[in-house]
Structure formats: C-alpha cells, structure tokens
Amino acid sequence: MLTITLSKGRILKQTLPLLEQAGLIIAKKELNSRKLILDTNLTDVKVIIVRSTDVPIFVQHGATDMGITGKDVLLEHGANNLFEVLDLGIAKCKLMVAAESKNRLKQNTLKVATKYVNSTKRYFQNKGQSCEIIKLYGAMELAPKVGLAHCIVDLVDTGNTLKANGLIPFEYIEKISSRLVVNIASFRTKNAQIKSWIQNIENSL
C-alpha cells in the first residue's frame, strides 16, 4: 500500500490533473464524500486531503508515504524526516514584503505582520534588519492599515489582493511552488514503488 497526503484548495485543483496524467485518478464521488481516506483507481494507493500546513506533519511521521504541499509550508515547517523530491511547478507565487510605501520600511525595528514567522525572521536577520513579528492567521493586508504593522510578508500571485488593499510589493523573499515530498523511511522500504511514482509524475509535468 502507498499513501499520499494532498493539500486542499488551490493546490489540489492543480494537483488532480497532474496525478491523473501520471495514472492516479480519484473519482469525483470520493472527492465529494465525507471520507477522510480516499480510494483511487489503484487498489494499492490511498489518498488523504488535509490543509497544506498539515501535509509535512503527516509525511514526517510516516502517517503517509508521500505528500504534496507548497514550498512556503516546507520553508516554514522545516524538512526533518522527509525528502523534497520534485518541484511540480504548480501553484506558483512569490513570498514578498509589501507595504503602503517604501518609506514605511525605513524603521529601526520593523513591525511585520505575517503567518510566515520563521521565513520572515530568517529574511530580515540575513539583511541585518531588526524586526518584530506579529503572527496573524489571515487578512494580513489589514495590519498596515490599522497601524498593527509597518509591512506584511505574504504570498503574492497576481498582486490583486495587495492592490485592492493599497499595498505594494517591495522586496522579494522566495519563489514558491508545490513540491512532492517523501518520508525518508518509506523511501527506503518502498523504494521501487515510490521511485516509479516520482518518475510517472515527473513525466507528466
């Protein structure tokens, strides 16, 4: 048996066609059901769908053999006990620093609202910029408006969300896309099966 954890939402939409091309099909009936462990067209492959931030946890602990999640999640979570084996080139975006104006970034201690606490700390530390991080779980764009922070660090795709909230992306931190990850122990014990899936998926890119 091979188990794969997929990320809900935006990533899932782009993952399903890719997997289908690689030979793994999850029927609509399964996707729409309330089941937590989904059957596929292959009797020896099962799929779990969770929030992208939980994917590394399932894979790290060997609850599933493989997973698909965003590089943003992997950078934030760390990659202990898992291999990042493939860049799928889907759900592409950028992790960026955005503010109302460039002047707002000129602070002795910059107040930054983000859910990417570790990536943000690392970025500003490397720049030698002192910062105070305000962890939010959503609606980061609000923080500069209400004086909670000087700037935000968030994912930017089209830039429409920033624009609609009067923010401009000034600094680029990291290029983001979804990655295929594999539990290290599974990679050893199910090597042939996993390698063949990596190859199938790579061929579908």
User: Could you tell me the CA-to-CA distances from 93 to 58, 76, 87 in Å, in that order?
Assistant: 24, 15, 13
Give which of 183, 174, 132 is closest to 154, Cα–Cα: 174
Dihedrals φ, ψ of 156, to 5°?
Answer: -125, 125
Instruction: Compute the C-alpha angle 24/26/31, nearest 5°.
Output: 155
If one asks whether residue 159 binds ligand AMP (CB under 6 A), the answer comes out as yes
Q: Does 155 bind ligand AMP (CB under 6 A)?
A: yes
For residue 154, list its beta bridge partners: 96
**Whose Cβ is closer to ligand AMP: residue 161's or residue 200's?**
161
| 126 makes contact with ligand AMP (CB under 6 A) | no
List 15, 70, 71, 119, residue binding ligand AMP (CB under 6 A): 70
Residue 37 structure tokens: 């462990």
Among the listed ranges 31-39, 40-48, 60-68, 158-166, the one in contact with ligand AMP (CB under 6 A) is 158-166
Task: Tell me how crowded residue 194 is: count the other CB atoms within 10 A of its CB.
Answer: 21
Q: How far is CA 57 from the centre of its chain?
A: 13
Query: Within positions 21 to 50, which residues make up the interface with ligand AMP, using CB under 6 A?
Result: none
Contacting range for ligand AMP; rule: CB under 6 A; set: 29-37, 116-124, 148-156, 196-204:
148-156
Q: Note the residue count of the chain.
A: 205
Distance CA 140, CA 143 (A): 6
Per CB under 6 A, does 157 bind ligand AMP?
yes
The nearer residue to ligand AMP, 15 or 60, going by C-beta atoms, is: 15
Among 32, 103, 126, 158, binds ligand AMP (CB under 6 A): 158
Residues 40/101, Cβ–Cβ less than 8 Å: no
Out of 53, 81, 161, 193, which residue is the one contacting ligand AMP (CB under 6 A)?
161
User: Of 2 and 86, which CB lies nearer to ligand AMP in the complex structure?
Assistant: 86
Residues at the contact surface with ligand AMP, assessed by CB under 6 A: 10, 70, 91, 93, 154-161
